Amino acid sequence: MEDALALFREMVNKGISPNFITCDIMMQGFFQTGRAANAKELFLWIIKSGIQIKLRTYNMILHGLCKNNVTLTAMDDIGSCTSYREGLLQRLKKEVLQKCSGVPFVAVSLGHKVRLEKDRSKWATVVRNEHWNASDYDSALRLSYAQVESHLKPCFAYTSIIPPMILFNEEWRIQHWMAQEFILPNPDTGTVEVEEIGRFFFRYLVELSFFQRAGVDPTGEQHSYILSPMMRDLALQVSGEDCKCYIMGMGVPLNHQQKVRHLTIDLSNIANQNMFDFNVISESRCLCTLLVVGGSENFVPRIPEYIEKRFPRLQTLDLSNSGVTELPGSIGQLKHLRCLQLQSTMIKQLPKSIYDLYLFQTLGLRNCYFLEELPHKIKNPRKLRHIDLVVTHSPFRNVCSLTCMPKEIGLLTDLQTLSRFVISKESTVNIHTHKRGIEELAKLNHLHGGLLISGLEHVNDVEEAARAQLVCKQFLRKIGLSWSGSNKQDEQNMEHVELVKNGQVVARPHLSLKTFLQRSTSRSYNHKAAQIMEHLKPPTIIEELTISGYAGMACPRWFSSPDYLKLVTLHLYDFKNCTVVPHVGQLPLLENLHIKGWGGLVSMNRSKFCGSNTTCFRSLKKLHLERLDRFA
C-alpha cells in the first residue's frame, strides 16, 4: 500500500491528473488495509480537486466507512462536501445509524437513493421516508444489484448454482468465470492477465457485500466465502432459468431442463449416493456447467461413456470430493471443455484424450493423493493456464503418489499455476522417456502463487539446475525445494562391492575399505547437493521459502543475501549435515523461522544469525526449534 501511495503522490507532483478509477483503486486499498482515515482524506481531496465523481465512489466511501464502524463519519463526509447545515446533519446521523443496523448494503442502498435526488433540500426527506423491515431488504438488494456494472452482473448471477451455505474461494470462482467467458482480456489494460481482472471483479463484489467472508484456511492466507441466504435468493432471481441448483432426494423433478445452462446436483440429502444416475439430467443438452456436490469418497459417479453426446456444449465439469477413480476416454470429445475440477477425488490417471481439448484452461487436481502421473502429451492444449497439484498433509492420507512430470510440459508457457513439479530418476537418465527433469521449468516464467519442487536428489549436475532459471520466476510468492532420502542407495550398493578377476570373486573388501567408499560417496553427494543448491536461487520477491532434506555441508551463499526484503516465513527442515545456521537475522520482514531436524547443529547465537550486523530479527514473531539432536 505504501508503494501505491508513493506512486500516486508522484503522479500528482508531476502534474498527471488521476481520474476516478485511479482514486477508487486507492480508496479501496485504504479500506482493505484498515486505513479508513486515509480513505476519508482522499475522498475530500477528490471533491476539492474537481475530479468527476461516479456513483460507485459514493457507494465505496459509504460502504467502507460503515464497515469500519465509522457510520457517523460517513454522514460527516457527505455533509462536508454538500454544504449541509450542521443541525440537519446531526439529526440525519442518528436516523442513518438506526436504519443501517450494521448491514453495509443497506447503507449503500440508502446512499444510492440520496444521490439520485438532485434537490439537496429533499435529502432529509428521503432518509426519513426510509422504513426498513424484512420486506424492504429485497428492494435494497435489487437496487444494489441494479447499480452493479453490467460486466459484473453475469458473474454474480452465475453464483446462484452454489448450494446454500457452501464455502467457495476466490481462485475457484474466478476459474469458473473464465471457463464461461465472463472475464475477457481488456484491450485497454495491455498486459494485465485475465486472472487479475477476475480478482478485481471478485473483490469488488466482496466490498459490496454480495459475497460474505466465512473463514480462513490454516495458513491464514486464503479466505473462504459464502452467499448469504438473501444474496442467494437475489442471485436466483436475476439468473432466471439459466442457473439451477437441484437438490436430490426432495421428491421434486428437475423441470425445464432444456433451458438450463448451468446446473449443480446436490447429493447431500440422499442416503445412498451411488443411486444417482446421470439419466436424471438426460434432457440437458444445452448444459455449459455441471457441478456435482455433497458427495463423499464412497460415491463413485457413473459417468456416461459417451459424455460428449449427452453434454456437447459442456465448458465446466466439477466432480470434486467424490470417489471417482477414472474418466471415460470420450472426455476428449468435449470440444468446449475449459475447466475440469477433480479436487479431493481418488483419480489415478487421466485419459490420454484430454490433450485433444484445444480450449482447455484449468485442471484442478488439489488433494488427489492417488494421482500417479499426468498425460504424456499435456503440451498439446496450449491454452492451459492452471494445473493445481497442491497436496495438503493429512494424517489420514499417504503422501502424494505423483512420481514424474510429462515431457515438454515446459512448452505450456501461459501457465499461471503449477503448484508441484516432481523430478524422477528416469527423467534424468533416459532421453527417450516421456518424463523430463527440472529444466522443463526454464520458460515457465508466468507462474503465480506457490511452487514445490521435489525429487531434487535426481538432478544430475549444476548445469541442469541452472537451466531451470528459478530466479526468473518473478510472480511466485512461495517456493519449496525438497530432497527425499539421500545417498542411502549408494551406500547400500557399497555393501555388495566385490573384487572380481576373470569372472571369479577373488576377494571382498575389508570393512575399512567399505567404510572409506561409503564416506567418499557421501562426501561427493553432499558436495553435489551444495553446488546444485547454489544454482536454485529463488527470486528475491518471494514471501515464503521451505527447504527440506538438503544434504550439503553448508548453506548456499544466497541465504545470507539482504535482497530478500519481502521474505516473511522460512522453513528449514532436515539439514542433517549443516553445522552453522545462515545469516537470516538481517531479513527485515522475517516473522516466522522454523528450524527442524538439523542433526549436526550444536549451538547458535546472534552472531551466527546476523553476522556483523548489530540489528537482528526486527520483525520476528515466532522461532520454532525441533529435533536438534546434538544441540546443547
pLDDT digits (tens, 9 = 90+) for 505-541: 444 444 454 454 455 556 777 888 899 999 999 999 9
Taking the C-alpha atoms of residue 304 and residue 522, their distance in angstroms, rounded to an integer, is: 54
Q: What is the per-residue pLDDT across 36-52, written as a single tens digit (0 to 9) for each? A: 777 777 777 776 666 66
pLDDT of residue 496 exceeding 90: no
Chain-centroid distance, C-alpha 212: 18
Q: Are 476 and 446 a contacting pair, CB within 8 Å?
A: no
User: C-alpha cell of 419?
Assistant: 503448484
Give the right CATH number for 241-248+256-402 from 3.40.50.300, 3.40.50.620, 3.80.10.10, 2.60.40.10. Answer: 3.80.10.10
Q: Where are the domains of the chain?
A: 2-147, 150-226, 241-248+256-402
Give the lowest-confidence range in 12-26, 173-187, 285-299: 12-26
CA distance 129 to 79: 19
Phi-psi region of 367 (alpha: psi -120 to 50; beta: other; left: phi over 0): left
Task: Quote the CA–CA distance of 81 and 242 in Å, as a whole number.
Answer: 44
More confident site: 549 or 62 = 549
Q: What is the pLDDT of residue 433?
A: 47
444 within 8 A of 414, measured Cβ to Cβ: no
Strands (E), 282-381: 289-293, 316-318, 339-341, 362-364
* Residue 272 CB neighbour total at 10 angstroms: 10
What angle separates helix 20-32 from helix 194-207, to the nearest 10 degrees?
Answer: 70
Q: Does domain 150-226 have CATH number 1.10.8?
A: no
Q: What is the pLDDT of residue 34?
A: 75
Grid cell of 357 as nine digits: 481439448
- Angstrom distance (rounded) from CA 465 to CA 381: 27
What residue type is assigned to position 184 of the chain?
Answer: L
Q: How confident is the model at residue 416 (pLDDT cuts 50, 70, 90)?
A: very high
Tens of pLDDT, residues 323-359: 888 999 999 999 999 999 999 999 999 998 888 899 9
Please state which of the ranges 88-97, 208-217, 594-603 shows the lowest mean pLDDT: 88-97
